[in-house]
Structure formats: structure tokens, C-alpha cells
């Protein structure tokens, strides 16, 4: 009979590798997994409960909130506040981050958590997979109010990152910089169980994920790469397949398992890119690199970007290393050609 290892057991074993660890990070991951279970429960009964549809408000991004956006944000915020391991929480759904202070109800810890509570929520009414993305940092300053050095950390300084995908099964995937591990929720026991140890992204793939309705707004280099994907070439097994779900977590997770590249480049409408650096791109870039993949703007690695504000946007090219390399090659060649014309 195959043994089952739960997320809690796995994290406790990892904690034992660090004699000075006090268990705060273990408790933080437990809190995140609890919030994920609550959202999983609600997502799975969405067709039966009054949780589908629009909330009627817009978030700070100007995007119309779904009821499940608000539900997921509330429960992640509440669970993370109660745990006592965090000193700062930032969500896609709020204009400003929340700096926690000690009260009779809440204690504060040393971790800063950035999260997208429900990525792809506009798809929920269509029963399409959605997800949660989270990024964890450790404050640099001593006790007291947080300082600029705490907020200006690049993706390289993440201590952990992960995502939860609510699909045909609910799965939590995370890294602490020691590989990537996936845990599938077993509803019969209410626990995330290790199902995908030491996940790796195939070096190459045959799938590209991009919203091609934006094609006319894409930079020339991206248009050229997409034409490359569609050309017939037996040696490189082209044309590639186009697969775009519209939920970042779902598109990324498929490419994690099967190989592929996800592209959301800058456009005329979003000249700096559309996806958010702190709670979408950085955590997925950390996971991608730890799994043997790559994440880039097309010019520099995502995790080398120095953040300047909470809701900072960036272009994102992420997935199999060889496919990301090819996109970068087209971009660099175009930049070279343009520089020679000046």
C-alpha cells in the first residue's frame, strides 16, 4: 500500500533540516493551505450557492470584481492575519497593502505576503479552472514600522512562492528555493497530499499560450515569434499548438506539466505589460526557475526587476527554457536591428 505524506508532514520534515527554525514558516504555509481549502469548498459549490457573477465593484486595477474574488480575498486576509506570522499583507484587490500591528486580537510576525486571491475569476461562471498565487518575503528591517528596504526586495529575495489551482482537482504547488513540490487535495481526509514531488518543466515544448486577439498591439518581435510557432518544420516539430485558457495559473500549470511557453508581452494598451510583478510574475518566476524553466520580460529576468510600487506591471514570458530563449532571441534581434537604424 502506497504511503501518503501530507503537506503538513512534508513541511515539518523540511523544517527539521534547519535547527534554528522556530516553526513560523510552517504555520504560515498551514494558514495558506487552510484558506485554500475554504476557497476550494466555495468554488466547488459555486453553481449551487449565490457566489457566481459580478460583485458590482471594481478593484484597484479597474477590473470588475466577481463575488468569488471578494470571498477569496476576505478569507485569505482573515486567515493570514489570525496566524500571527505576517507583518504585511498585500492583495490584488486592495489599493494599499496592510501593515499589521500588535493588537489584542492579532500578533505580528516577520513575513510579508503578496497574493492574488483568485486569478482568472472572470472564468468561474464558465466552470473554467481558476487559482490563487502567493509570494512570501521576510522583512529586512528590525522591529517597528516597515521601511523602504522591506518593500524594495526583488523576486530573488523571496523565501517562498506558490499557487493553488482549483480545477478537476485542487492542487497546491510551492517552492522555498529547494525544488518545486505539488500537493493534491484529498477531499475525503481534507488534506493536501504529496502527489508531484520535485516537479520539473520540460526543457522544450510544443505549446504556446497567448491572447492572440491582442496580436495587432504586440511588438514586432512577438509577432515574428508567433509566425515562427505556426510555420511547418518537421525538424523542430512545428507548427506548435495554441492553448490559451485565460487563467494565468491554469496556463502556467499546464506548461509546467507538459512543457510550453506563456506570453503576455507589452501592448499598445499596456506599454509596461499587464500582469502584476509582485503577486503574479515574481512568484511564478521563482517556481519556474526552481523547476528548470525560465521567466523573462524578453530582455531581463523577471526576478531581477526592482519594484517601485505595489501594483507594478510587467511583460511576462515564462515556461520551458528553450522556448523562452527563442522568444528572447527574436526580441534581441529586433532591438539590434532597430539600434542599427538609428
Annotated binding residues for Mg(2+), written as ranges, equal 92, 116, 118-119, 280
Give the residue ranges of the annotated binding site: 92, 116, 118-122, 211, 244, 274, 280
Which residues sit opposite 241 in a β-bridge? 207
Taking the CA atoms of 70, 66, 310 and 295 in sequence, report the sign of the dihedral they define. Answer: positive
Neighbours of 306 (CB within 10 A): 10
The DSSP symbol for 233 reads B
Dist CA 186 CA 172 (whole Å): 12
Report the half-sphere exposure of 87 (CA within 13 A, side-chain side): 17
Give the residue ranges of the annotated binding site for substrate: 119-122, 211, 244, 274
Pair 33, 88: CB distance under 8 Å: no
Please list, in sequence order, all residues whose beta carbon lies within 8 angstroms of the beta carbon of residue 288, skipping any fewer than 6 positions away.
201, 252, 256, 294, 295, 318, 319
Neighbours of 7 (CB within 10 A): 23
Residue 104, classed as helix, strand or coil, is coil
Amino acid at each position: 500500500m502506497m504511503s501518503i505524506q501530507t503537506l503538513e508532514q512534508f513541511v515539518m520534515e523540511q523544517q527539521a533540516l534547519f535547527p534554528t527554525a522556530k516553526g513560523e514558516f510552517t504555520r504560515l504555509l498551514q494558514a495558506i493551505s487552510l484558506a485554500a481549502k475554504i476557497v476550494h469548498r466555495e468554488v466547488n459549490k459555486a453553481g449551487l450557492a449565490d457566489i457566481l457573477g459580478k460583485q458590482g465593484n471594481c478593484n484597484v486595477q479597474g477590473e470588475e470584481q466577481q463575488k468569488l474574488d471578494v470571498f477569496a480575498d476576505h478569507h485569505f486576509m482573515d486567515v493570514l492575519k489570525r496566524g500571527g506570522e505576517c507583518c504585511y499583507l498585500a492583495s490584488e484587490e486592495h489599493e494599499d497593502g496592510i501593515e499589521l500591528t500588535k493588537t489584542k486580537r492579532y500578533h505580528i510576525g516577520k513575513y510579508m505576503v503578496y497574493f492574488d486571491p483568485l486569478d482568472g475569476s472572470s472564468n468561474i461562471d464558465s466552470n473554467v479552472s481558476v487559482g490563487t498565487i502567493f509570494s512570501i518575503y521576510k522583512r529586512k528591517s528590525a522591529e517597528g514600522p516597515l521601511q523602504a528596504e522591506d518593500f524594495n526586495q526583488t523576486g530573488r529575495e523571496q523565501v517562498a512562492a506558490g499557487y493553488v489551482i482549483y480545477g478537476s482537482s485542487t492542487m497546491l504547488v510551492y517552492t522555498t528555493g529547494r525544488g518545486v513540490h505539488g500537493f493534491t487535495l484529498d477531499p475525503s481526509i481534507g488534506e493536501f497530499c504529496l502527489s508531484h514531488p520535485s516537479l520539473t518543466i520540460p526543457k522544450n515544448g510544443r505549446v504556446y499560450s497567448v491572447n492572440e486577439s491582442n496580436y495587432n498591439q504586440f511588438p514586432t518581435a512577438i509577432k515574428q515569434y508567433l509566425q515562427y510557432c505556426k510555420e511547418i518544420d518537421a525538424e523542430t516539430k512545428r507548427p506548435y499548438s495554441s492553448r490559451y485558457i485565460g487563467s494565468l495559473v491554469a496556463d502556467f500549470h499546464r506548461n509546467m506539466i507538459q512543457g510550453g511557453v506563456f506570453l503576455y508581452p507589452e501592448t499598445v494598451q499596456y506599454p509596461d505589460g499587464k500582469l502584476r510583478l509582485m503577486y503574479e510574475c515574481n512568484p511564478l518566476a521563482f517556481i519556474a526557475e526552481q523547476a528548470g524553466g525560465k521567466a523573462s520580460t524578453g530582455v531581463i529576468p523577471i526576478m531581477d526587476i526592482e519594484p517601485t510600487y505595489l501594483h507594478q506591471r510587467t511583460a511576462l514570458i515564462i515556461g520551458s527554457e528553450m522556448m523562452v530563449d527563442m522568444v528572447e532571441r527574436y526580441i534581441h534581434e529586433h532591438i539590434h536591428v532597430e539600434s542599427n537604424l538609428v
